[in-house]
Amino acid sequence: MTVRERSELRSARRVVVKVGSSSISGENAGRIQPIVEALASAHARGTEVVLVSSGAIATGMPYLSLAERPSDLATQQAAAAVGQNVLIYRYQEALRPFRIVAGQVLLTAGDLENHTHRSNARRAMERLLGLRILPIVNENDTVATHEIRFGDNDRLAALVAELIGADALVLLSDIESLYTRPPDQPGARPIDRVHYGDDLHGFEFGSVVVNSVGTGGAATKVSAARLAAASGVGVLVTSADLVDEALGGAEIGTWFDPNPEPTAPAATGPIRTAGVVAPR
């Protein structure tokens, strides 16, 4: 089914959920449990769920005695190699009471822009879902180069949603919805809905933010949401704390209407922040 309203998320056939590093690492590592509980509830309703999870580098940092995200690529790759193992272990332990098995899928955006790699990835994901496994997708940070430094998994989540024909994409953030400008600025208003084709010029979503654990920001979510929407996937952007409500169809967050007439598969090549103004 094509999810055209937030309320339809509860009965969606297939949903991709993306969570960022800051939501599940460091002092927020305990938030994995409620996120998993929400995914398990959807899984029990019969929804096929794919989780795109950042956090390998952030999770690995304490094991390398790093107080903040490393700036050099080799150390980022080392932290990712250690952290990915721990991250999947934490997810599997949280999933165990629900008798759900996780399957690790490591990709780069480049994999999804290569025809052969795309076909292989799609086949593997379809088989995992057919076996009622919960795929946990992350960018392959141990070998990634450009993506590891300048991107976030929002884009990867959009490409995965298109790849597997998801009905909807849920991008989890640190705030309940997107705003017309950074929410700490005067005059910022929450955005309830973005109709397909809406002109977003004039809204200030900010540029990519690099913090102590990861990269991301509102602009990457807007770009990813528009990419997924163009391929016919409805997108909800909301807080990680509200993931259960989101998957239950609550009227929360910012909803991006899907393209009513999607054509070719979305996107090869880099996505661009169409209609987004980033402050200088």
* Residue 174 known to bind ligand: yes
- 18 among annotated binding-site residues: yes
pLDDT tens per residue across span 67-121:
998 988 899 999 999 999 999 999 999 999 999 999 999 997 778 778 998 999 9
Asked if 29 and 223 touch (Cβ cutoff 8 Å), the reply is: no
In angstroms, the CA 152 to CA 154 distance is: 5
Q: Which helix (H) or strand (E) holds 155?
A: helix 153-163
Residue 266: per-residue pLDDT: 42
**pLDDT at res. 277:** 38
Please give the pLDDT value at position 22.
87
Q: With contact defined as beta carbons under 8 Å apart, do 271 and 155 qualify?
A: yes
Q: Is 18 in contact with 173 (CB distance < 8 Å)?
A: no
Quote the pLDDT of residue 147.
Answer: 46
Locus of tokens 């997108």: 235
Query: Under a CB-based contact definition with an 8 Å cutoff, are residues 54 and 214 in contact?
Result: yes
Binding residue per annotation — 21? no
- Dig out the tokens for 46 from the structure: 């019969």
Position 217 scores a pLDDT of 75
> Residue 50: CA atoms inside 13 Å, Cβ hemisphere, count?
32
User: Which H or E element spans position 216?
Assistant: strand 215-216
> Collapsing DSSP states into helix, strand and coil, what is residue 24?
helix
Give the pLDDT confidence score for residue 280 in this predicted structure: 29
- Per the annotation, does 211 bind a ligand? no
Q: Would you say 141 is a known binding-site residue?
A: yes
Under 8 Å between Cβ of 191 and 258: no
Q: What is the pTM of this model?
A: 0.88
The predicted structure's pLDDT at residue 151: 53
Q: How much is the pLDDT for 214?
A: 47
CA 140 vs CA 5, 55, 77, 135: distances in Å:
33, 11, 9, 14
Cα gap 184→191, rounded to integer Å: 15
Choosing among 3.40.50.10950, 3.40.50.970, 3.40.1160.10, 3.40.50.150, the CATH entry for 6-256 is 3.40.1160.10
- DSSP readout, 172-210? EESSSS-BSS-TTSTT--B--EE-TT---TT-B----EE
Point out the residues of the chain with pLDDT beneath 50: 147-150, 208-215, 266-280
Name the burial class of residue 272, with classes exposed (0-12), middle (13-18) and buried (19+) by CB atoms within 10 angstroms of its CB.
exposed
User: What is the pLDDT at residue 39?
Assistant: 98
